[in-house]
């Protein structure tokens, strides 16, 4: 057991896979010599050398295009897009090339690659470096999407992503980089598409993802003090989506809340709300409530950013109010 | 081939093969056009009529396990690597016996077993992808080279420039081939491009030699491709070839291409790569009977492919949900 930060877990997760499989390679801007702008890849260049850990020019299309071409010819690249907002400059490669090519070619090619990216707010970086884009990725047929919420899960889900034969978008909540936890020693390997129940309660089921997981747990703790007991589920993987766990818990508790950092419209909770409404409507005891960042670009000022992204306070009061209505 | 053959006759055999490829591409594209007019080719199609010498010359210089990355104008490059006509034509017709069983269509021809790693229809996007394949060859220490075809208009999109720089700094075994047919869709590329030679004039920006070649001369194309492939295999990095050519027809579908001046079209039709090459072979001593026999064989091949493609079944719902994921399915939830 070792205390590990979320950012240190990234390097450990990647190293675990690179030691195991010589076809795993890594590329991105400032990932090698500098160890990443968020220090997520420190030490990898030293251990694996410049053949496997490569700095690139500021060429997001080339980074992801290269990852794709390498993946279809025998390598398992891990590519980094520094800030997930920048997916907008290489979205064609992600959406039209990587996501569609297996289907278009009748399965002739596979893309075992991982695209890591720093996602979301909390750093007061302003609108172009802070958006939570998990809903962009989720809506694209052909992409798998995982969002770890803890240092341990960074390692386990990174292993699952690297070993998966399909392209995986791996979103790292920037707000979580400094968070610490005890992580077991040795290899950690999870499966994609498995949600985790973090807390059991009877009054409602609350789904959270990435940076919203610790806040939701804190809100659940507060609610417990007010006599409200909620189940908290870390969704972990948007595609594949563990609807079995979600539907089971929502049916049991009768209420569903989602806590989402992405902007409201067509955020990930919208699809889950639709699935729940279609499939277990009569198990619901009240409306589904989504707690999200509003449908606005993120402001920079700390006071404003804190108002925009769901806070422990907003999560707790929204749930308490909805359950008392 | 017999041991008594000289280098000269080996060259001649290759030239005859390149002529055959050009004849086959011409016949296939002509048939594809006719079937489009019959409403049997669905959606769209972009023909290489007039540009056959580039596909034939480059493919002849490639090793069997080299990779082709093509565009929506990719029938020729796919066939030139040895993919049979029937599955290509059936794919254009949207049939189950198509190359991708109808899931890709004319613009996305792919045959991994022939080294055709896909045809891409978002301008420029496949240049970085070709870099990735080249990187993989370099990393794994294979001798493979990625060859990437694109048009003149494509030199103005960002991915072109990202890929050229990327290939240059990593010394990647990739050969970029710009088929300069002077036109984008309906706009003359020179009207929207800062330099006269859209690819060659950009080469120096990436530390590469400018390479201009007559794209209507399969021998000339073969020679520059051979040199570029050898450089790539020797670890000397990428090349950027600009092959000057002209499309005989319109951009796509049934476009008559009337936006082009008559004298320009006439001048290029007078430089049609096929009759020029046929005359060269005849002058080198290839008999009329041999050339005519080869042409007749190709004509039969096209007829047979047409029959087989037309007879192909429609793809069914079993294919609709297949192969989104590597497990063969499309499930996004449990
Ligand atoms: C990003 C993008 N923009 C526009 C188009 C539409 N489009 C298809 S072909 C084409 C012209 C391309 O010209 P060129 O590169 O010269 O190739 P050619 O068709 O002449 O072979 C355009 C604009 C596209 N497919 N992708
Ligand atoms: Mg053109």
**Structural domains of chain B, ranges and CATH numbers in brackets:** 25-274 (3.40.50.970)
Q: What residues of A act catalytically?
A: 60, 129
Distance CA(B272)–CA(B286), nearest Å, equals 20
| Same domain, residue pair A173 and A203 | no
| Same domain, residue pair A215 and A125 | no
pLDDT beneath 70, residues of chain B: 1-7
| Same domain, residue pair A130 and A257 | no
For residue B8, the model assigns a pLDDT of: 76
Distance CA(B113)–CA(A309), nearest Å, equals 50
Q: Name residue, tokens 């995986």.
A: A168
| Same domain, residue pair A174 and A200 | no
Is there a domain that residue A189 lies in?
A: no
| Same domain, residue pair A247 and A99 | no
Distance between alpha carbon A317 and the CA centroid of its chain, in Å? 25
Q: Which of B99, B135, B322 sits opposite A107 (nearest CB)?
A: B322
ipTM exceeds 0.95: yes
What is the distance in angstroms between the Cα of A129 and the nearest Cα belonging to chain B? 22
Distance CA(A32)–CA(A295), nearest Å, equals 36
Boundary residue ending a domain (A119, A151, A183): A183
Is there a domain that residue A190 lies in?
A: no
| Same domain, residue pair A91 and A122 | yes
Distance CA(B109)–CA(B88), nearest Å, equals 7
| Same domain, residue pair A149 and A230 | no
Cβ-contact B81, B115 below 8 angstroms? yes
Q: How far is the CA of B183 from the centre of ligand 1 (A)?
A: 9
Q: Name residue, tokens 């796919």.
A: B78
Distance CA(B187)–CA(B153), nearest Å, equals 9
How many domains are contained in chain A? Answer: 2
| Same domain, residue pair A210 and A311 | yes
Sheet holding B211-214, edge to edge: B116-120, B67-71, B146-151, B174-180, B239-244, B211-214
Cβ-contact B118, A107 below 8 angstroms? no
| Same domain, residue pair A200 and A57 | no
| A274 pLDDT higher than 60 | yes
Nearest CA in chain A to B120: A97
| A67 pLDDT higher than 80 | yes
Measured from the Cα of B152, ligand 1's closest atom is 16
CATH number of the domain that A231 lies in?
Answer: 3.40.50.920
CATH number of the domain that A135 lies in?
Answer: 3.40.50.970
Is there a domain that residue A104 lies in?
A: yes
Cβ-contact B121, B72 below 8 angstroms? yes
| Same domain, residue pair A288 and A179 | no
Is there a domain that residue A188 lies in?
A: no
Nearest CA in chain A to B137: A73
Kindly state the average pLDDT of the residues A32-60.
98
Residues of B numbered 45-104 whose beta carbons fall under 8 angstroms of chain A's beta carbons: which are they? 67, 99-101, 103-104
pLDDT tens-place string over residues A227-262: 999 999 999 999 999 999 999 999 999 999 999 999
Helix (H, G, I), strand (E, B) or coil at B44: coil
Helix (H, G, I), strand (E, B) or coil at A116: strand
For residue B4, the model assigns a pLDDT of: 43
DSSP class of residue B235? T
Cβ-contact B179, B150 below 8 angstroms? yes
For residue B3, the model assigns a pLDDT of: 43
| Same domain, residue pair A141 and A258 | no
Any CB–CB contact under 8 A between A101 and chain B? Answer: yes
**Cross-strand pairs, B148:** B69, B176
| Same domain, residue pair A208 and A145 | no
Query: Ligand 1 test: best mutation among B69, B157, B184, most atoms within 8 Å of CB?
Result: B184
Boundary residue ending a domain (A183, A209, A239): A183
How do strand A168-173 and strand A180-183 relate by DSSP bridges? unpaired
Is there a domain that residue A191 lies in?
A: no
Any CB–CB contact under 8 A between B334 and chain A? Answer: yes
Instruction: Let me know how long chain B is.
Output: 334
Distance CA(B230)–CA(B62), nearest Å, equals 10
DSSP class of residue A175? G
Is there a domain that residue A148 lies in?
A: yes
- Please name the residue whose Cα sits nearest to atom 17 of ligand 1: B151
Kindly state the average pLDDT of the residues A187-200.
98
Q: Which of A25, A165, A243 sits opposite B139 (nearest CB)?
A: A25
Is there a domain that residue A222 lies in?
A: yes
**Cross-strand pairs, A260:** A292
Is there a domain that residue A83 lies in?
A: yes
* Domain with A110 in it: 2-183
Q: Which residues contact B318 (CB under 8 A, 6 or more apart)?
A: none
For residue B10, the model assigns a pLDDT of: 85
Boundary residue ending a domain (A183, A213, A242): A183
C-alpha distance from residue A130 to each of A173, B5, B38, B258, B331 (Å): 10, 69, 53, 50, 31
Distance CA(A276)–CA(A283), nearest Å, equals 9
């Amino acid at each position: 057991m070792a205390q590990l930060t979320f950012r240190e877990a990234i390097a450990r997760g990647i190293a675990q896979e690179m030691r195991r499989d010589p076809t795993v390679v890594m590329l991105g801007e400032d990932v090698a010599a500098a160890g990443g702008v968020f220090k997520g890849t420190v030490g990898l260049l030293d251990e694996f050398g410049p053949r496997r850990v490569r700095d690139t020019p500021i060429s997001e299309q080339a980074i992801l295009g290269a990852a794709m071409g390498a993946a279809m010819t025998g390598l398992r690249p891990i590519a980094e897009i520094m800030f997930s907002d920048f997916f907008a400059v290489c979205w064609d490669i992600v959406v039209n090339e990587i996501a569609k090519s297996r289907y278009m070619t009748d399965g002739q090619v596979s893309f075992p690659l991982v695209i890591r990216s720093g996602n979301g707010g909390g750093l007061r970086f302003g609108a172009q470096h802070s958006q939570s884009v998990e809903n962009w990725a989720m809506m694209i047929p052909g992409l798998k999407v995982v969002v770890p919420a803890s240092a341990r899960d960074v390692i386990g889900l990174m292993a699952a992503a690297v070993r998966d034969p399909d392209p995986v978008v791996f979103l790292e909540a920037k707000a979580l980089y400094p968070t610490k936890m005890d992580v077991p020693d040795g290899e950690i390997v999870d499966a994609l598409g498995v949600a985790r129940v973090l807390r059991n309660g009877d009054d409602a089921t609350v789904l959270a993802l990435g940076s919203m997981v610790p806040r939701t747990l804190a809100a659940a703790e507060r609610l417990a003090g007010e006599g409200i007991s909620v189940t908290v589920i870390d969704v972990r993987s948007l595609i594949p989506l563990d609807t079995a766990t979600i539907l089971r818990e929502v049916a049991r508790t009768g209420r569903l809340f989602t806590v989402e950092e992405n902007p409201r419209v067509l955020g990930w909770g919208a699809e889950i709300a639709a699935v729940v409404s279609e499939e277990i409507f009569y198990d619901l005891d009240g409306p589904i409530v989504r707690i999200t960042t509003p449908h606005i670009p993120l402001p920079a000022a700390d006071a404003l950013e804190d108002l925009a992204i769901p806070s422990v306070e907003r999560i707790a009061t929204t749930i308490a109010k909805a359950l008392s209505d | 081939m017999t041991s008594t053959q000289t280098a000269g006759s080996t060259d001649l055999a290759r030239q005859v093969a390149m002529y055959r490829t050009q004849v086959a591409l011409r016949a296939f594209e002509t048939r594809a056009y006719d079937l489009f007019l019959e409403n049997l080719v669905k959606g769209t199609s972009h023909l290489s009529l007039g540009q056959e010498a580039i596909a034939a010359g480059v493919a002849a210089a490639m090793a069997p396990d080299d990779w082709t990355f093509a565009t929506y104008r990719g029938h020729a490059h796919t066939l030139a690597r040895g993919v049979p006509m029937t599955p290509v034509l059936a794919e254009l017709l949207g049939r189950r016996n198509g190359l991708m069983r109808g899931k890709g269509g004319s613009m996305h021809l792919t045959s991994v077993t022939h080294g055709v790693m896909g045809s891409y229809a978002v301008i420029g996007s496949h240049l970085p992808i070709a870099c990735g394949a080249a990187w993989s060859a370099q990393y794994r220490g294979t001798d493979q080279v990625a060859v990437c075809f694109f048009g003149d208009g494509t030199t103005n999109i960002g991915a072109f420039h990202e890929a050229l720089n990327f290939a240059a700094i990593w010394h990647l075994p990739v050969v970029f081939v710009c088929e300069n047919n002077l036109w984008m869709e309906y706009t003359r590329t020179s009207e929207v491009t800062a330099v006269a030679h859209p690819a060659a004039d950009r080469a120096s920006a990436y530390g590469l030699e400018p390479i201009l070649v007559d794209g209507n001369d399969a021998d000339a194309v073969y020679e520059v491709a051979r040199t570029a492939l050898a450089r790539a295999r020797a670890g000397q990095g990428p090349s950027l070839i600009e092959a000057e050519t002209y499309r005989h027809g319109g951009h796509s579908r049934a476009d008559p291409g009337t936006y082009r001046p008559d004298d320009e079209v006439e001048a290029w039709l007078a430089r049609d790569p096929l009759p020029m090459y046929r005359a060269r072979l005849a002058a080198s001593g290839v008999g009329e009977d041999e050339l005519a026999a080869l042409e007749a064989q190709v004509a039969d091949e096209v007829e047979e492919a047409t029959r087989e493609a037309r007879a192909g079944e429609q793809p069914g719902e079993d294919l609709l949900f297949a192969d989104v994921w590597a497990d063969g399915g499309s499930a996004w939830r449990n």
